[in-house]
Amino acid sequence: MDYFGQVKAAADAVRARVGDFPSTAIILGSGLGDFASSLGTPTPIPYTELPNWPIPRVAGHDGRLVVGTANGRRVAALAGRCHLYEGYDGLTVTFPVRVLGLLGVRRLILTNAAGGVNTALSAGTLMVIDDHINLMGENPLAGANDDRFGVRFPDMSEVYSAKLRALADATSGTTGVPVAHGVYAALLGPSYETPAEIRYLRAIGASAVGMSTVPEALVARHMRIEVLGISCITNMAAGVLAAPLDHAEVMETARRVRGQFVALLEGIIAQLG
């Protein structure tokens, strides 16, 4: 079975479990998977029960798809993602996004835990992604193009929807959850960046740094899906503070801001229509 066939098989399996699929989906980053548990009338599907679906192997990524309601609107939440640094290739990492596209998703909210590069940011800040810098050394669109997914040379002048970013700002105002804006730099990982690398990232205009999101955003735009990106700044990057970096700190900060994160997402979803 070719790649398109594998994606379609997974999409058919999801549709058989949940029927009509929501037009909005969310991919939840490290420590942010609790949002999936907040959905009303949930239908959870472990990734292990879906054909060809890649399984995350990192703490903080549960590995389940949940379809339910938030503020009365149906939404799909993916609690957990795979990463290139786990040894997966670009096609595998972005497999869930391809499935979402075949299921009819038209808006995708990508969330992640990120390190703060801009010293004006602090741990716990929610940052709306305005643009990204891909330093992962890989693009999931490389290789033979399947026109059933999208065109050979997709435009990337507006990866992150201006309309959805404005909606996030409006939701921030109504919910009282503050948001910042910035540019997300994606590196391969799994090691955290060196202080010299962080100085380089700051010099080229990055506000935050992480190890995910960009491959998913590229594939989503290839499939003409609108994208909103939100980073939870869970720690300050190397060299900003004297303390060493620790994944436990990432998880703890994500837990601390859970209430604000859920309120912001629910507010955005309520306005999507």
70 and 270 Cβ atoms separated by less than 8 Å: yes
Point out the catalytic residue in the list 30, 112, 161, 172.
Answer: 30
240 and 52 Cβ atoms separated by less than 8 Å: no
Point out the catalytic residue in the list 85, 158, 249, 270.
Answer: 85
Distances in whole angstroms, Cα of residue 102 to Cα of each of 74, 75, 220: 17, 16, 11
Q: Is 222 a catalytic residue?
A: no
Q: Is 38 a catalytic residue?
A: no
Q: Is 113 a catalytic residue?
A: yes
Point out the catalytic residue in the list 77, 206, 208, 211.
Answer: 211
Point out the catalytic residue in the list 112, 118, 161, 212.
Answer: 212
Q: Is 235 a catalytic residue?
A: yes
In angstroms, rounded to a whole number, what is the distance separating the alpha carbons of residues 22 and 152? Answer: 27
Q: Is 83 a catalytic residue?
A: yes
The answer to whether the bond into 215 is cis (omega within 30° of 0) is no
Torsion angles phi and psi, residue 232, rounded to 5: -95, 115
Q: Is 86 a catalytic residue?
A: yes
Provide the token pair at 94.
Answer: 């972005």
Q: Is 157 a catalytic residue?
A: no
Point out the catalytic residue in the list 247, 249, 251, 263.
Answer: 247
Provide the token pair at 157.
Answer: 């002048």
Q: Is 252 a catalytic residue?
A: no
Q: Is 247 a catalytic residue?
A: yes
Point out the catalytic residue in the list 70, 79, 86, 216.
Answer: 86
Torsion angles phi and psi, residue 135, rounded to 5: -115, 25
At which residue do the structure tokens 């990866």 appear?
Answer: 159
Residues facing 230 on adjacent strands:
111, 128
Q: For strands 40-46 and 64-70, give the pairing.
A: antiparallel
Which is nearest to 211 in space by CA: 98, 124, 81? 81
Which is nearest to 56 in space by CA: 81, 91, 27? 81
Q: Is 223 a catalytic residue?
A: no
Which is nearest to 136 in space by CA: 210, 229, 34? 210
Residues designated as active site: 30, 61, 83, 85-86, 113, 211-212, 235, 247
